[in-house]
Amino acid sequence: MSAARRDLAEQKALELHLQHPEFCSIPVNPIRVANGLGLRVLRDNSEENIDGRYNSVNETIYLNTDQPLYRRRFTVAHELGHHIMGHKTRPRDRSKQYTKEDFDPDEVEANRFAAALLMPEAAVRKCVFEKGMLVEAMADFFGVSEKAMCIRLKQLRIVKWPKMAKILRSMRQTLKLTKGIALKTPALPNGQTLSLPS
């Protein structure tokens, strides 16, 4: 995914937080966000629906409710990303579209949007740099899996991990802060702030 598309996905998620604080408070309830934007979220536990899918024709997200809670939350946010980013109807196929050799840029973009919606950059930075929260506590706070939290910390260049697989196998390791990264939260338009519970 190009840097411009990545930045656009981040910006679209931030705009939702700023324009709709009534349904974007942390931990974000992605079903509430989708409903607030006029989308329906319906259960579909059929075999064809691996995790979830978005239908742009009837503006509906179909969710496999047999998945664990954290996966369901991320899936709805991901499918909402397809809607927000203007993608057409598509399934979420976790087996094919996420390998380095064969990936769909729209899927990567929807993942980036989902991460930014559920774990906004300013809030993540506040949790790390002002509150000193560990990965497990942040994952609980944002309502995501520890793996998703680690990936978000890496996306934001807050942590470095020379051997990502090792860290993902052992989530309890201490994460090292990246040296040379500005510790300030990003500037928000018109002096707006994201509210973060104390």
DSSP 152-173: HHHHTTSEE-S-HHHHHH-TTS
191 within domain boundaries: no
Integer Cα distance of 170 and 198 in angstroms? 29
Neighbours of 97 (CB within 10 A): 18
**How far is the C-alpha of 137 from the C-alpha of 139, rounded, in Å?**
5
The answer to whether residue 79 sits within a structural domain is yes
Q: What is the pLDDT along the chain (198 residues), one digit of tens a residue?
A: 678 888 999 999 999 999 999 988 999 999 999 999 999 999 988 876 578 889 999 999 999 999 899 999 999 999 999 999 999 876 655 544 444 555 788 888 999 999 999 999 999 999 999 999 989 999 999 999 999 999 999 999 888 655 444 555 554 444 444 433 333 334 444 444 444 444
Residue 17 and residue 81 in one domain: yes
**CATH code of the domain in which 70 resides:** 1.10.10.2910
Instruction: State the total domains in the chain.
Output: 2
> Same domain, yes or no, for 66 and 55?
yes
* Same domain, residue pair 11 and 87: yes
DSSP 42: E
The reply to whether 183 falls in a domain is no
Domain with 96 in it: 3-118
Nearest alpha-carbon partner for 81 in 105, 60, 107, 101? 107
CA dist., res. 41 & res. 28, Å (int): 15
Q: Are residues 21 and 53 in the same domain?
A: yes
